[in-house]
Structure 1
């Protein structure tokens, strides 16, 4: 995948650009002021901005969490149900303010990094779907949507209560239905976009090597380094795959042979999602496709479904993270072999440390994830939901 997502000059990976700017600010000598009207160098501007942002985060992060999602228009008439539906954060969220930078970029990433044309596309889709189509579906009571909350990720029963296994049929809120519609539409659009707009480039890149891209200064400079051979990645993949088979088989997580399907699904989605992420800084989520397939194959097995998603979606996403890091090294002229070795060592250390911490906490903290309110656990409902309806 390096020849498709790392070496081409149009695969920018905008996420890396702020880190490159930071490293240049820290390490490169400055010949002139970056903000002449403030009489500041880049380093001084960075320090001031960092301190101010850290101080400000105390407001939405600790002192006034309401600033992270402030539905101020609901305060005009708290008893007005229609106003709450239109302006509340659990409704259509019209006029809702987000004064927390972390919350603002939690879904689509930093708007400073993403290209403007990509953000315009998102804005157009938001207006069309969230502000027009979704309210129409709700207020004409399509599929009895008015009996349910507008945005609720839980399984619902036909009478508007939460589904508990004894009150079928299963229903969803309009927000979940619309999100599923958009999700499947984005998958089809992603594949067709890759074929129509990038198919020729993919075929051309498949026939070229790093040394044959002499019109790209980055490739010219990086060709001086010995590259990490492909067979090293292959051996590492085989070792990890065999270990995963043993874990699934003897850990009784899911049938081990489903790993072949999970890895195939991950590989098929890797190139289209990588092209979009590398050009727009927007990650297309394919986890729901994995959840649906896992739910169909392992009906009623939430653990198995989550395991399938971990190996399918997790493998694909970690591969994208690795490619993004390789592009960072490509820009910064870091040896591919040194970068590969560093990534491998860090991954091994991270696995051991994370597993050790999780095992220690689960075995020593009484009532963790259950009755201990000081140590709650985030529960992902999607695998359980798909396992039930699969």
Structure 2
């Protein structure tokens, strides 16, 4: 997630001819080698103009505004049933005309900053692409939100306990900032290496070029900007249909419409609560809302995800469910909720000591062990396997390469790991000193320690827990970063973090979620920072300017996210409490409910009472061994048959983690994502490569932006003012499969479901 105020030639000219750093002729020829990655060669220009101003008044004003607005809007919508994520692409588009307007209206005279010898201007010249990139980095940081706000939410809305606002604020800030330390340590390997190409960044690069480059109008050929505007308008106008007029079109499940009284048929056909056979959605948010844009994911990653999805969801999961493994038929087919032995919701008030906020063991032993739906249980098993598969895969396939990078303390201009982009950056700009990252890490750690140990130890996490969480984040940043930088798929540390602290410090829900957040988010933030550094690398942004913008944006975004969270929890009556909310209320907090259930599983009950002989699910531990061994045969055959390139494309961590977003994402989202991704990144990429190179990432950005802008407009113009259409079949935000979530065990009574 420092500039120069001089202005050189117009920006569009920087793409008409390559700027060659004055040097030997041999270097100029070497620059022509470009990147070893084809998608990068097709997308990123090998040009730079180091004289362009970057940290201007326009950058700070528009960047801060974008950061604040996106942090608030995304946090606001995160509590609602129909979650909407407004990406930084929206700010990227909106700030372009605003930047150009400021360039034509602000005064150009220079002034001196009060008390210093620094001179500058509010308007140093035409609004340029580098300013625009830094504004988008601001927006991207705001759009990412703050994971730790979920801890504040479950404490106040689910557990109904008080929390010191200063402790909560420090928790939110420090979990976001700790990642700077890991980013500084690993940026050489994950940014400077051309093989770490970060596919998602190419969408942004394409859009920047479309918005800023001037193209000649050719008969029968659209400019990229015009193409973007056309798709944006079509996406914007179309989203009124699934977003307001006909929400059911987002998930069409025909099997349910045919067999309206069959639980099994609806379990097979439901795209939202079942296997989703034959289901699909006519809505871009169905395609990209949960799994991200498939147009930004390389086909080999899509193919691996498809294999993992099919193996787990259509082979393993049905076998376990219909064989009634772990009493699967007692519980809904597709849910993340927790249950007791009777098949009803698990009541945590029966087993919690409200005074100490720890588990009451006698009460637990007299009530019930904790049960999960078989889907949710197997997803935890796959998470175990994903972790060990990631370690094994990176060691086998990337170990030699990473070790070679590790031995390179500096990347020389002609280093074999460098490409034209790395050489230009090192020639033109100063690196960020390592001590900057270390300083942020040290201050953040001290504040985190104060948040955990102070304030009456409300967060329950001891000092050694914080140290251990940081050690886990540090250990996994590089291997998971390698996978993210090459496949656009990220493995999380949620489950392993919960597992470790659950064994070491059981019965304490807040200690568990705080440990998970420090262990998971500091790594994720490090990868956000590194990913943004790679975007700056491609766009030739001075690294020190990137660092400063990211740091300020992170602090601002965290503050806004915390403030909006505290405001909503204090002002919306019964927020997140579906039993007390009106049926039409949108404040159901779907993401925080999953977070709350995880705090029960790993924090209150603990893995010792879940995944050992004391619990129901000790068999899931075999996934650790299965995941660790799974990459070995692939590695063996890839070495034995090097001519068979398809073997080298088998990516076991991706296969294991393919369904990791379930049960938040449903089968209809997966099918829509997989089909669209295969069409564009396999068929069109191979048959119409010129069109793909010119338009693919622009198409992705335009679809995202149009959908998001209309979604925000619908809420503030219509839904927020209680303007609704007459109720009809298609106005329900469902796939009309009401029986899909019914238990099928004999004798289980659930309202609205048949009793078998």
Q: Same fold (TM over 0.5)?
A: yes
Q: How many Å apart are 1:290 and its aligned residue?
A: 1.4
Q: Give SS of 1:40's match.
A: coil
TM-aligned CA distance change 1:47 to 1:185, over 3 Å: same
- What residue in structure 2 maps to residue 205 of structure 1? 405
Deviations 1:85-119 (A, max 9, x none): 11123122222212222232234321111110111
Q: Which sections of structure 2, spanning at least 5 residues, go unmatched? A: 1-185, 351-366, 607-756
Match of 1:308 among 515, 518, 535: 515
Match of 1:111 among 290, 294, 301: 294
1:45 maps to 2:243: no
1:193 maps to 2:393: yes
Measure the CA separation in 2 of the matches of 1:203 and 1:3: 13
Farther off after superposition, 163-172 or 233-242: 163-172
Farther off after superposition, 84-93 or 41-50: 84-93
- What residue in structure 1 maps to residue 439 of structure 2? 235
Measure the CA separation in 1 of the matches of 2:327 and 2:492: 28
Q: How many Å apart are 1:297 and its aligned residue?
A: 3.3
Measure the CA separation in 1 of the matches of 2:561 and 2:377: 35
Q: How many Å apart are 1:372 and its aligned residue?
A: 6.4
- What residue in structure 2 maps to residue 217 of structure 1? 420
TM-aligned CA distance change 1:104 to 1:291, over 3 Å: farther
Measure the CA separation in 2 of the matches of 1:148 and 1:154: 9
Match of 1:175 among 371, 375, 378: 375
Number of aligned residue pairs: give it. 387
Measure the CA separation in 1 of the matches of 2:534 and 2:471: 24
- What residue in structure 1 maps to residue 241 of structure 2? 59
- What residue in structure 2 maps to residue 19 of structure 1? 204
- Greater relative contact order (Cα 8 A, min sep 6): structure 1 or 2? 2
TM-aligned CA distance change 1:109 to 1:360, over 3 Å: closer
Farther off after superposition, 170-179 or 100-109: 100-109
Q: Which sections of structure 1, spanning at least 5 residues, go unmatched? A: none
Farther off after superposition, 209-218 or 135-144: 209-218
Q: Check conservation: 2:269, 2:279, Cα contact below 8 A.
A: yes
- What residue in structure 1 maps to residue 552 of structure 2? 345
Measure the CA separation in 2 of the matches of 1:73 and 1:66: 15
Q: Check conservation: 1:109, 1:281, Cα contact below 8 A.
A: no
Q: How many Å apart are 1:40 and its aligned residue?
A: 2.0
Runs of at least 4 residues of structure 1 off by over 6 A?
Answer: none
Q: How many Å apart are 1:213 and its aligned residue?
A: 4.8
- What residue in structure 1 maps to residue 601 of structure 2? 385
1:132 maps to 2:315: yes
Q: How many Å apart are 1:52 and its aligned residue?
A: 1.0
1:9 maps to 2:9: no
- What residue in structure 1 maps to residue 254 of structure 2? 72
1:244 maps to 2:451: no
Q: Check conservation: 1:305, 1:387, Cα contact below 8 A.
A: yes
Q: How many Å apart are 1:68 and its aligned residue?
A: 2.5
Q: How many Å apart are 1:156 and its aligned residue?
A: 1.7
Q: How many Å apart are 1:76 and its aligned residue?
A: 0.5
TM-aligned CA distance change 1:364 to 1:170, over 3 Å: closer
Measure the CA separation in 2 of the matches of 1:64 and 1:5: 44
TM-aligned CA distance change 1:200 to 1:212, over 3 Å: farther
TM-aligned CA distance change 1:361 to 1:132, over 3 Å: closer
Q: Check conservation: 1:302, 1:384, Cα contact below 8 A.
A: yes
Farther off after superposition, 14-23 or 63-72: 63-72
Q: Check conservation: 2:216, 2:223, Cα contact below 8 A.
A: no
Q: Which has the larger radius of gyration?
A: 2
1:85 maps to 2:267: yes
Q: Give SS of 1:283's match.
A: coil
Q: How many Å apart are 1:53 and its aligned residue?
A: 0.8
Match of 2:506 among 290, 295, 299: 299
Measure the CA separation in 2 of the matches of 1:85 and 1:148: 13
Q: Give SS of 1:211's match.
A: coil
Q: Give SS of 2:377's match.
A: helix
Measure the CA separation in 2 of the matches of 1:65 and 1:101: 12
TM-aligned CA distance change 1:13 to 1:356, over 3 Å: same
